[in-house]
């Protein structure tokens, strides 16, 4: 019997498993993971390499389907949707921050931030307004025209955060977002991420090994061999 998610949770997973392959060689990426994240909450998922952190984020964000179990974004069950519905809901509801920033090198900071709005077919004037606002929130209003290679690592990740939040998603997923930053820069980026999660009321799931990042969580869970412990 699978319990229904709390009505206030922005994100919920119940008894999620993800198995790669079959038979004796099968790899159990996730084994019965259940969690909920509320709006404005920063949940850190900590775990050693290979514990299933990336697999969990992929399943929570609808980039991968679980082998069993259920996932909800708000009241909508991702695991009950057709693939095209999942893609549409993902664009509407989920922002991603990547370890290696994931910026397109030929685009300026502003154009990178604009990408999710173009995917959602937001009108040009509204796009320009939202991009300027998002860059301002991450302190990069004066760097809008610069390409990623003209920015520091911390600035590039701030562009990544602006891009993830520009379309006001319900959920933010970040896989080792400070993994490529020196510790002082990582602290500043984390402080910004935490502040934005709280002010924008987005439900965030962030994976990390970084103790600085763990210290800034509202809640921490540990993943070991695909299980929450």
Ligand X SMILES: Nc1ncnc2c1ncn2[C@@H]1O[C@H](COP(=O)(O)OP(=O)(O)OP(=O)(O)O)[C@@H](O)[C@H]1O
Which residue bears the tokens 């993971």?
Answer: 33
Q: Which of 5, 12, 13, 29 binds ligand X (CB under 6 A)?
A: 29
Q: Which of residues 34-63 bind ligand X (CB under 6 A)?
A: 47, 49-55
- In this structure, the number of other CB atoms found within 10 A of the CB of residue 146 comes to 16
> By C-beta, is 22 or 49 nearer to ligand X?
49
Burial class (CB in 10 A: 0-12, 13-18, 19+), 169: buried
Q: Which of 4, 6, 20, 119 binds ligand X (CB under 6 A)?
A: 20
> By C-beta, is 17 or 34 nearer to ligand X?
17
Determine, following the binding rule CB under 6 A, whether residue 66 of this chain makes contact with ligand X: no
* Least gap, CB of 169 to ligand X (angstroms): 21
> By C-beta, is 27 or 215 nearer to ligand X?
27
> By C-beta, is 7 or 22 nearer to ligand X?
22
Total length of the chain: 229
* Least gap, CB of 203 to ligand X (angstroms): 20
Determine, following the binding rule CB under 6 A, whether residue 122 of this chain makes contact with ligand X: no
How many residues bind ligand X, per CB under 6 A? 11
Contact call for residues 16 and 59 (beta carbons, < 8 A): yes
Determine, following the binding rule CB under 6 A, whether residue 139 of this chain makes contact with ligand X: no
- In this structure, the number of other CB atoms found within 10 A of the CB of residue 79 comes to 17
d(CA 227, CA 190): 26
- Going by C-alpha positions, the residue among 207, 110, 123, 124 that lies closest to residue 166 is 110
Determine, following the binding rule CB under 6 A, whether residue 100 of this chain makes contact with ligand X: no
d(CA 186, CA 190): 6
Determine, following the binding rule CB under 6 A, whether residue 208 of this chain makes contact with ligand X: no
Determine, following the binding rule CB under 6 A, whether residue 7 of this chain makes contact with ligand X: no
> By C-beta, is 201 or 224 nearer to ligand X?
224
Question: CA end-to-end span of the chain, whole Å?
Answer: 21
> By C-beta, is 50 or 124 nearer to ligand X?
50
d(CA 203, CA 188): 20
> Under the rule (CB under 6 A), what is the footprint of ligand X?
20, 27, 29, 47, 49-55
């Amino acid at each position: 019997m699978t319990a229904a998610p709390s009505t206030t949770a922005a994100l919920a997973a119940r008894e999620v498993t993800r198995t790669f392959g079959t038979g004796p060689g099968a790899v159990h990426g996730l084994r019965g993971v259940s969690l909920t994240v509320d709006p404005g909450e920063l949940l850190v998922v900590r775990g050693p390499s290979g514990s299933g952190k990336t697999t969990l984020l992929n399943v929570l964000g609808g980039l991968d389907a679980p082998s069993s179990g259920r996932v909800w974004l708000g009241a909508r069950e991702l695991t009950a949707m057709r693939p095209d519905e999942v893609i549409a809901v993902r664009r509407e509801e989920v922002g991603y921050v990547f370890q290696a920033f994931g910026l397109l090198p030929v685009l300026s900071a502003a154009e990178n931030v604009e990408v999710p709005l173009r995917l959602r077919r937001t009108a040009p004037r509204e796009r320009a307004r939202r991009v300027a606002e998002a860059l301002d929130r991450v302190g990069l209003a004066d760097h809008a025209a610069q390409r990623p290679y003209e920015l520091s690592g911390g600035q590039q990740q701030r562009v990544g955060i602006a891009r993830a939040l520009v379309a006001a998603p319900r959920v933010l997923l970040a896989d080792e977002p400070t993994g490529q930053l020196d510790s002082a820069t990582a602290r500043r980026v984390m402080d910004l991420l935490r502040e934005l999660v709280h002010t924008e009321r987005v439900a965030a799931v962030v994976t990390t090994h970084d103790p600085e990042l763990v210290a800034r969580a509202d809640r921490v869970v540990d993943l070991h061999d695909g299980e929450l412990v």
